Structure 1
Amino acid sequence: MKTWMIYGANGYTGELIAREAVKRGLSPVLAGRNADKIRPLAEELSLAFQAFPLNDHAAKQLKDIDLVLHCAGPFDLTSKPMIQACLQAKTHYLDITGEISVFEYTHSQHAQAVEKDIILCSGVGFDVIPTDCTALKLKEALPDAIELSLGFDSDSGVSPGTFKTMIQGIGSTSMHRKDGVLEPVTLGSQHRIIDFGRGSRSAMGIPWGDVSTAYYTTGVPTISTWIPMSKPKIQSARLMKIASPLFASDWVKEMLQKQVEKRVKGPNNEFRANTPAYIWGEARNAEGVLKVARLQTANVYDLTVYGSLDLVRRLLSEQIDGGYYTPAGLFGSSLVEKLPGSGAFEIDTFYPR
């Protein structure tokens, strides 16, 4: 019997995953930095638990663990030490990040993962399973695509962990990939009209993880990522650049994160059940042919629960060569369609006039 761990199980999403795992008859080891926060949930769910910091000794805590599902953000700070611990312990590594820097770092450890024969796969939740699968689906539909645009629309609510990650990114720029190279762009400078699946809306480019992952999944050299945003809010995003030095300061971020801990609880079950997500993607080739894909999925947090547990189950039961993978790179473009609450891809083709 293989043993796996949820690190960060006391967080909003980690707890959702732990509870669903138990419903499915699974017995993860719960873990985190603070024993007092982990113990109550472990005792309630009758699960083993560990408490340890992510430092140079973390690998010792993984010696009997076959796989870690890392749920403790902000991942820009926590993923590197956990990945290094997993490499030392020869333990598969999954996380639920959406941060571009984390995807790039995880990819940079490919050779070490091959040597250790373990899987490294970041983004096994809403960030980025649906859009990663959309990218691959479009690449399959238009093999000579040279440009990808990906995005989503959801009234999903925000968890404390997501809010803290957003705070970490305050004051930063947006990001896209141009001719294979990641490039910063001014937040609010990318705007267009998109129908994500429930009517045409004004949209803005954002630094979503697919500008990293979709490149490794598809090889398409130019990638942008989008969410719906009203024109006044896009204008406000542009103005944020003026105040970005203030918002980027450590003391402002620390103050905001303390407020999150006091005030943000995360969406409840009923809210999540009534707020699906709408996924959109567009591929273009050199001749101007367009393929547009749309898909409806479960709420972003529910999809993270379903997606992460599906990858855990499959990696513990299937033999796959070690290395860095994206979710769609591991299990194909149909991965998202098989998750609870997901529909099937609908693809339209448009030819240049």
Structure 2
Amino acid sequence: MQNKWMIYGANGYSAELIAREAKKRGMTPVLAGRNKEKVNALAKQLGLEAVIVDLSEGQKLRESLKDMTLVLHCAGPFSATHKPMLEACIDTSTHYFDITGEIAVFEHAHSAEVSQRAKEAGIMVCPGVGFDVVPTDCLAAKLKQALPGATHLELAYKAAKHLSPGTAKTSVESMGGLCQVRENGSIKGIYSKTRQIDFGEGERLAMTIPWGDVSTAYHSTGIENVAVYVPVHPKTVAKMHKIQKWRWFYGLSFVQNMTKKQIEKKISGPDENLRQASPTYLWGQVWDEQGNKRTARFTTPNGYDLTITAPLAMVSAVINGEVSATGSITPSQLMGEDFVWSLPEVTPLEWVDA
């Protein structure tokens, strides 16, 4: 098997962190992207090969992929970038990984059509190999294992509010629609709902958000009712409902573009000290029609740090022939439900059923 692999969007916040850690580990990814100055500068600094290519350059993109075993796609917003990269990967028989958290991207990547085409090409399509959605995907799989007849799954995480530019832009895109949950197997838009959740320090008000597990947890577990929450201040719930009522306005192109330009000017992403000082707390619960419940929680490093370690562990496993698959697959399906607990500084799963 070839062992060349590519990080696309290498000048982005998370991609640069991944590239630097990969170099420390003796890995030699090809750094690629459309920003010639930034990609070349990073590649020169790390002593790695660089490829300058825009996703709109279909033939050139395919030429750059023909010798690659795998692409780790890091250029967001993925709603705009995943399709050209995914199509090029299928055409060149290159495994496709990305670090998205966007529900629509997961739904497309896990569609029957894409999965079948990936199988025919002999590749795996595995979106969401960073913080979105490795920890919650493994948690969902463990909860399903604990209660095989579960019909409902709720997940939650508490994290620092320091965002990268890419994450912030994705959040802006979600302001143009309702929150999303899965009900009876189908994804639907709702006004955000609330519940109380104990992350280990007492109960807190939490609100639903359109997180990737609304898609991926269904594919990993088969559970047909899924919602994801984050802790919030009560005033935030009212503010979010107001935004959702005015979603037509926040979804306008000029509003989206103006907000994203402000993000580019003002947000650079958390530095190492901020990341180290802000771990992430995860919680999950399943229940069945008889009222049986299982609840668990654990802690991971900051989400951006996990978006370094998880993708690199998965890339290494594929490159070294430790795992293999074809078609569309979730992180827990590829690496096993215990995968996240093999990563640094992840605490053991704590079962907290009454």
The TM-score with structure 1 as length reference comes to: 0.96
Give the whole-Å Cα distance in 2 for the aligned partners of 1:252 and 1:223: 30
Q: For this pair of structures, how many residues does the alignment match?
A: 348
Amino acid at match of 2:121: K
2:91 corresponds to which letter in structure 1?
Q
Answer whether contact 1:204 1:228 (CA < 8 A) is retained: yes
Equivalent position of 2:340 in the other structure: 336
Contact 1:153 1:227 in 2 (8 A): yes
- Pick the aligned partner of 1:292 from 287, 291, 295: 295
Whether the aligned pair in 2 keeps the contact of 1:171 and 1:245 (CA below 8 Å) is: yes
**Matched residue, 2:29:** 28
| More deviation, 120-129/176-185 | 176-185
Over the matched positions of the two proteins, sequence identity in percent amounts to 44
Deviations 1:119-167 (A, max 9, x none): 1000000000000000000011111111000110011510011111112
Is the contact between residue 124 and residue 329 of structure 2 (CA under 8 Å) also seen in structure 1? yes
* Cα pair 2:175 2:244 within 8 Å, conserved: no
Instruction: Give the Cα–Cα distance (whole angstroms) in 2 for the partners of residues 293 and 165 of structure 1.
Output: 28
| Aligned: 1:114 with 2:119 | yes
- 1:102 equivalent in structure 2: 105
CA gap 1:156/1:333 in 2 versus in 1, 3 angstroms: farther
Q: Which runs of 5+ in 1 are unaligned?
A: none
SS at match of 1:152: strand
Once the two structures are superposed, residues 91-118 of structure 1 have per-residue CA deviations (whole angstroms, 9 ceiling, x without a partner) of 0000000000000011121101111110
Partner of 1:228: 231
- Give the letter aligned to residue 236 of structure 1: K
Supply the distance in 1 between the matched residues of 2:335 and 2:161 (Cα, whole angstroms): 26
Match for 1:173 among 151, 158, 178?
178
Q: Which amino acid aligns with 2:157?
A: F
Q: Does 1:237 align with 2:268?
A: no
C-alpha offsets along residues 185-238 of structure 1, whole Å, 9 cap, x if unaligned?
Answer: 12x3x1111112332110001110001000000001111111001111101111
Unaligned runs of 5+ in 2: none
Cα RMSD (Å): 1.1
Residue of 320, 323, 328 corresponding to 1:324: 328
Partner of 2:83: 80
- In the superposition, the TM-score normalised over structure 2's length comes to 0.96
Q: Which residue of 1 aligns with 2:267?
A: 264
Aligned pair partner of 1:281 in 280, 284, 292: 284
Q: Which residue of 2 aligns with 1:90?
A: 93
What pairs with 1:195-234 in structure 2 (closer than 5 Å)? 195-234=198-237
Partner of 1:19: 20
SS across alignment from 1:216: helix
Secondary structure of the equivalent of 1:192? Answer: strand
Is 1:135 aligned to 2:162, yes or no? no
Q: Which amino acid aligns with 2:47?
A: S
1:147 aligns with 2:152: yes
* Structure 2 residue aligned with 1:345: 349
CA contact (8 A) 1:156 1:272 kept: no
Q: 1:4 maps to what in 2?
A: 5
Displacement over 6 Å in runs of 4+: none
> Residues of 1 paired with 2:65 and 2:151: CA distance?
42
Contact preservation (8 Å) 1:156, 1:277: no
1:349 is paired with a residue whose SS is: coil
Matches of 1:336 and 1:284, distance apart in 2: 23
Distance 1:196 1:68 in 2: 35
Cα distance, 1:66 vs structure 2: 0.8
CA positional deviation for 1:259: 1.2
